[in-house]
Amino acid sequence: MEITVSHYIVLSAILFAIGVYGVMTRRNILVVLMCLELMLNACNLAFIAFSKLHGGMAGHVFILMTITVAAAEVAVGLAFVVAIYKQRQSLDIDLLKILKG
């Protein structure tokens, strides 16, 4: 079977869905951050596939931007993880409920 562009699109959609599911259900902040990365990387895969389809470079360049942004986001996220772990000795999302009305 030949692998075509549409296979990559389906794969990226599946990866994106796994990422969304993970962000919604996982209880550990680190795993949630990993699932966010998965979402962004699914987008990267889609960009590459579409770039191949249309034959332009815009998709390739966009990925460089996305990778940078994802790295910055995770750097900030890990800083928060450290601050939260220092305060509570736990990374369980269910403990983040001080703020409520």
Partner 1 sequence: MDLSTVFQSTSLIVPEIVLMLFGMVILILSPIVKNQKNDYFLYVGIAGVVLSFVLNLGRFNSEAIAFSGTLRIDNFSAYFNSLFLFSSLVTVLIAKDYLKKNTPYINEFYALILFCTSGMMILASSVEFMTLFVGFEIMSIAVYILSGFDNTSTKSTESGIKYLVLGGFSSGILLYGIALLYGATGSLYFTEIISNFSASPMYIAGISLVLAGFVFKIGAVPLHQWVPDIYQGAPLPVTGYMSVAVKAAAFAVLLRIVLDLAILPSGYLLIAVQVVAVLTMVIGNIAAIYQSSVKRMLAYSSVAHAGYILVGVAALIADRSVGGQGILYYLFAYTFMNLGAFAILAYLSREDRDCDTFDHIAGIWKRKPMTAVALGVFMFSLAGIPPTIGFFSKYRIFLSAVESGQSFIAVIGIVASVVSAYYYLKVLVYAFMKQDEYGFGSHKPVSSVAITVLAIATVFFGIIPAFSWELAVEASKNLLAIVY
User: Interface with partner 1 by CB under 8 A: which residues?
Assistant: 9, 12, 16, 19-20, 23, 29, 32-33, 36, 39-40, 42-43, 46-47, 49-50, 53-54, 56, 58-59, 61-62, 65-66, 69, 72-73, 76-77, 79-81, 83-84, 87-88, 96, 98-101
Give CA angle at 38 (94, 13), nearest 5°. Answer: 115
Residue 6, Cα to own-chain centre: how many angstroms? 21
| Cα-trace Rg, the chain | 17
Q: In angstroms, give the least distance from the CB of 1 to partner 1.
A: 22
